[in-house]
Amino acid sequence: MTTTLIDGIGLLYTGDPEREEIPGAALVIEDGLVAWTGPAAEAPDADERVDAGGRAVIPGFVDSHAHLVFAGDRTAEFQARMSGEAYTGGGIRTTVAATRRASEAELATRARALVGEMLAQGTTTVEIKSGYGLSVEHERRSLEIATGLTDETTFLGAHVVPAGTDADSYVRLVAGEMLEACAPYAKWVDVFCERGAFDGDQTREILSAGRKAGLGVRVHANQLTEGPGVRLACELGAASADHCTHLTAADVDALASSGTVATLLPGAEFSTRSPYPDARRLIDAGATVALATDCNPGSSFTSSMAFCVALAVREMRMTPLEAIRAATYGGARALRRTDVGWLRRGARADLVVLDAPSYVHLAYRPGVPLVHQVFHRGLLLEE
């Protein structure tokens, strides 16, 4: 078995709470996994040596919230928002119509291209939701495409009620026949719990059915208004409550005292010109926070975790350390994964060599492409 030593690391951010930062570090990869990390002076011998040249190394980003299976374009909706129109989620139906019209090959090609775009920017784990099909066959098709791209697939049949459908019968469909058809392709179930989408009772019904079918739970919660989403997520033992933009004190307490991660999606607030979630309040209360892109054609069409880190630092008053932690370790917690999101012995050797001396540059030099190299499962990606 070949071992590879990455030497000359200016600053290693491990993501491991036991030893989060190691200056002047080295790391050994063996069989696709991290075999050793520590000060360069103590590094063991290896078959091959890569010199990081004083650059920083971080774990590959874990993007725990993305909607990548879709067709169509919503540039005009974005333009209208930048002229003062509000985001309501109503545009989801525009994407549903385009997605239904598209062939499976077209959808797969587009989703694969987005995953490739993410990987080139250092994202080595991504969650992919359905939610632009909204019929048994179209949701199943979206999830089948997603399973070809990631292990982290999420059934979001309850994104909105499709046009011309009665809400109660749609909820029954989602929790019944649609779930049955989609569960074999999904690891998670998710509901957009929001005024104009699904209320507390409907959300509970669908999530409970999903849980019974063996799926883990995650919730689009409290994005546009205060509501029951976050508390339901915590009560049902969801891995993650996502968005968390409009929170009451009880919501913050619930997140801080549960195992549910608060996943913040600042790309959505950027792209909808909405106030950002109060990350400080969540972190100071003791909640675990993740950052993700929410990559989708409506509310957040970015695939860049580095951009989200920069937004989190500048707009959400997170420190650079809190932001990189949320984008790696936090994302892994939101997916209940212990094999990614950190660089310690036994973890997957997913890592990014930055063209910078420190991860702080992700926020200090926003918009600058800082990815020098990406290792995925121990292999160096060719540009």
Residues that bind Fe ion (CB under 5 A): 294
- Judged by beta carbon, residue 37 or residue 95, the one nearer ligand NIG is 95
299 binds ligand NIG (CB under 6 A): yes
CB of 50 or CB of 219, closer to Fe ion: 219
- Residue number, 157 or 298, with CB nearest to ligand NIG: 298
Distance between the two ends of the chain, CA-based, in angstroms? 25
C-beta closer to ligand NIG: residue 220 or 376 = 220
| C-alpha span between 198 and 157 (Å, rounded) | 11
Contact 39, 25 (CB under 8 A): yes
Residues 193-222 that bind ligand NIG (CB under 6 A): 220
Least distance (Å) from Fe ion to the CB of residue 250? 23
Residue 166 in 3-state DSSP?
A: coil
Give CA–CA dist 219/207, Å, rounded. Answer: 9
Q: Give the contacts of 113 (CB within 8 A, at least 6 positions apart).
A: none
Q: What is the DSSP pairing of strand 33-39 with strand 48-51?
A: unpaired
Q: Which residue's CB is nearer to Fe ion, number 14 or number 245?
A: 245
Residues 29-88 binding ligand NIG (CB under 6 A) are none
By C-beta, is 82 or 368 nearer to ligand NIG? 82
- Regarding 294 and contact with ligand NIG (CB under 6 A), the answer is yes
Q: Kindly state the smallest distance separating residue 157's Cβ from ligand NIG, in Å.
A: 13
At closest approach, how far in Å is the CB of 299 from Fe ion? 7
Picking from 47, 48, 3, 51, the residue whose alpha carbon sits closest to that of residue 29 is 3
Residue 268 near which of ligand NIG, Fe ion, none (CB within 5-8 Å, type-dependent): ligand NIG
Q: Is 175 helix (H, G, I), strand (E, B) or coil?
A: helix
**Nearest residue to 174 (alpha-carbon basis) of 227, 216, 138, 145:** 138
Integer angstrom CA distances of residue 89 from 93, 95, 116, 201, 331: 8, 11, 27, 20, 24
Choose, by CB under 6 A, the member of 4, 258, 296, 358 that binds ligand NIG: 296
Residue 299 interacts, among ligand NIG, Fe ion, none and using kind-specific CB cut-offs from 5 to 8 Å, with ligand NIG
Element spanning 8, H or E? strand 3-13
What are the tokens at 314?
């500048």
Shortest gap between Cβ of 256 and ligand NIG (angstroms)?
23
CB 70 → ligand NIG: shortest distance, Å?
8
What, of Fe ion, ligand NIG, none, does residue 271 touch, CB below 5 to 8 Å by kind? none
Cβ 167 to Fe ion, closest distance in Å? 20
The distance of closest approach from Cβ of residue 335 to ligand NIG in the complex, given in angstroms and rounded to an integer, is 16
Q: Rounded CA gap, 242 and 54, in Å?
A: 36
- Among the listed residues 128, 131, 132, 119, the one whose alpha carbon sits nearest the alpha carbon of residue 146: 128
The SS3 assignment for 217 reads strand
Smallest gap, in angstroms, from Cβ of residue 68 to ligand NIG?
12
91 binds ligand NIG, rule: CB under 6 A: yes
x/- track of binding to ligand NIG for residues 259-278 (CB under 6 A): ---------x----------
Q: Can you tell me which of 29, 50, 71, 92 binds ligand NIG, judged by CB under 6 A? A: 92
Secondary structure (DSSP) of 39-52 = EGGGPPP-SEEEE-
Which strand (E) or helix (H) includes residue 207?
Answer: helix 200-212
Applying CB under 6 A, the residues found at the interface with ligand NIG are 89, 91-92, 95, 192, 220, 223, 268, 294, 296-300
